[in-house]
Structure 1
Amino acid sequence: MRYDRKSATELAIRVCVAAGASQAMAISLAEATVAAECSGRSSVGFAHLPDYLESLLNGRINGLEEPAIFFPAPALIQVDAKGGIAQLGFDRAFEELLTRASTYGVTVFSLQNSYTAGELGYYVRRLARKGLVALAATNGSPLMAAGQSSEAVYGTNPLAFAAPVDNKAPLVIDQASSATAFVNIRQAAERGERIPEGWAIDAKGQTTMDSREAIKGALLAFGGARGANIALMVEVLAAGTTGANWSLDAPSFADGSHSPGVGLFIVALNPELLAPDFSARMALQIERLSSKGIHIPGGSCTEDEMEIVLPSSLVATLEQYG
Structure 2
Amino acid sequence: MTLPNRFDWEKLQQFCYHVFSNAGVSKENAETVAESLIQADLRGVDSHGVVRTAIYIERIEKNMMDPFADPKVESEDFATVLVNGNNNIGAVVGKKAVEIALEKAKERGAAIVGVKGSNHFGTGAYYALKAIEKDMILLVMSNASQTMPPTGGKRPFIGTNPLAIGVPAGNEAPFLLDMATSVVARGKIIVASQKGEEIPLGWAVDKDGIPTTNAEAALDGAVLPVGGPKGYAISMLIDILAGVLTGAGFGKYVNNMYENWEEPQNVGHIFIAIDINRFIPIELFKERMDRYISEIKAEPKADGIDEILIPGELEFRKTLERKQNGIELPAKVVKELDEIGKRYSVDLSKAVFSVKDGKQYKEVIN
Instruction: With the length of structure 1 as denominator, give the TM-score of the two structures.
Output: 0.92
Q: Residue 294 of structure 2 corresponds to which residue in structure 1?
A: 287
Distance 1:94 1:249 in 2: 24
Spell out the pairing of 1:205-220 with structure 2 (5 A cutoff).
Answer: 205-220=209-224
Q: Is the 8 A contact 2:97 2:115 kept in 1?
A: no
CA pair 141-102 structure 1, distance change in 2 beyond 3 A: same
Distance 1:164 1:33 in 2: 23
Q: Residue 87 of structure 1 corresponds to which residue in structure 2?
A: 91
Percent of residue pairs bearing the same amino acid type: 28
Task: Compute the displacement of 1:191 (Å).
Answer: 3.5
Matched, 1:319 2:338: yes
Q: Residue 97 of structure 1 corresponds to which residue in structure 2?
A: 101
Task: Compute the displacement of 1:9 (Å).
Answer: 1.6
Matched, 1:13 2:17: yes
Q: Is the 8 A contact 1:67 1:82 kept in 2?
A: yes
Most deviating of 282-291 and 51-60: 51-60
Q: Is the 8 A contact 1:81 1:89 kept in 2?
A: yes
CA pair 90-185 structure 1, distance change in 2 beyond 3 A: closer
Task: Compute the displacement of 1:206 (Å).
Answer: 1.8
Task: Compute the displacement of 1:94 (Å).
Answer: 4.4
SS of the aligned residue for 1:47 comes to helix
Distance 2:323 2:59 in 1: 32
Spell out the pairing of 1:21-100 with structure 2 (5 A cutoff).
Answer: 21-100=25-104
Distance 1:266 1:180 in 2: 22
CA pair 70-170 structure 1, distance change in 2 beyond 3 A: farther
CA deviations 1:240-274 (Å, max 9, x no partner) are 22211003112211121422101110100012221
Distance 2:8 2:230 in 1: 41
Letter paired with 2:38: V
Letter paired with 1:310: L
SS of the aligned residue for 1:239 comes to helix
Distance 1:215 1:95 in 2: 35
Spell out the pairing of 1:87-166 with structure 2 (5 A cutoff).
Answer: 87-166=91-170
Q: Number of residues paired by the alignment? A: 322
Q: Residue 189 of structure 1 corresponds to which residue in structure 2?
A: 193
Task: Compute the displacement of 1:225 (Å).
Answer: 0.6
Q: Is the 8 A contact 2:192 2:199 kept in 1?
A: yes
Q: Is the 8 A contact 2:9 2:38 kept in 1?
A: yes
Distance 2:6 2:217 in 1: 34
Task: Compute the displacement of 1:215 (Å).
Answer: 1.6
Q: Is the 8 A contact 1:59 1:258 kept in 2?
A: no
CA deviations 1:163-192 (Å, max 9, x no partner) are 010144421001111111112222323343
Letter paired with 2:297: S
Most deviating of 87-96 and 138-147: 87-96
Task: Compute the displacement of 1:141 (Å).
Answer: 0.9
Q: Residue 360 of structure 2 corresponds to which residue in structure 1?
A: none
Q: Residue 263 of structure 1 corresponds to which residue in structure 2?
A: 268
Q: Is the 8 A contact 1:5 1:306 kept in 2?
A: no
Letter paired with 1:123: Y
Most deviating of 253-262 and 219-228: 253-262
Matched, 1:310 2:329: yes
Q: Residue 278 of structure 1 corresponds to which residue in structure 2?
A: 285
Distance 1:170 1:209 in 2: 35
**Gapped regions of structure 1 (runs ≥ 5):** none
Task: Compute the displacement of 1:104 (Å).
Answer: 0.9
CA pair 41-193 structure 1, distance change in 2 beyond 3 A: closer
Task: Compute the displacement of 1:133 (Å).
Answer: 0.9
Letter paired with 2:274: L
Distance 2:276 2:134 in 1: 11
Distance 2:237 2:150 in 1: 13
SS of the aligned residue for 2:174 comes to strand
Task: Compute the displacement of 1:5 (Å).
Answer: 3.8
Q: Is the 8 A contact 1:59 1:257 kept in 2?
A: no
Q: Residue 258 of structure 2 corresponds to which residue in structure 1?
A: 254
Distance 1:189 1:99 in 2: 41
Spell out the pairing of 1:172-183 with structure 2 (5 A cutoff).
Answer: 172-183=176-187
Distance 2:337 2:172 in 1: 34
Task: Compute the displacement of 1:306 (Å).
Answer: 7.7
Distance 1:190 1:89 in 2: 29
Say what the alpha-carbon RMSD is for the aligned residues: 2.1
- Bigger radius of gyration among the two: 2
Distance 2:95 2:197 in 1: 38
Q: Is the 8 A contact 2:98 2:271 kept in 1?
A: no
Distance 2:324 2:191 in 1: 28
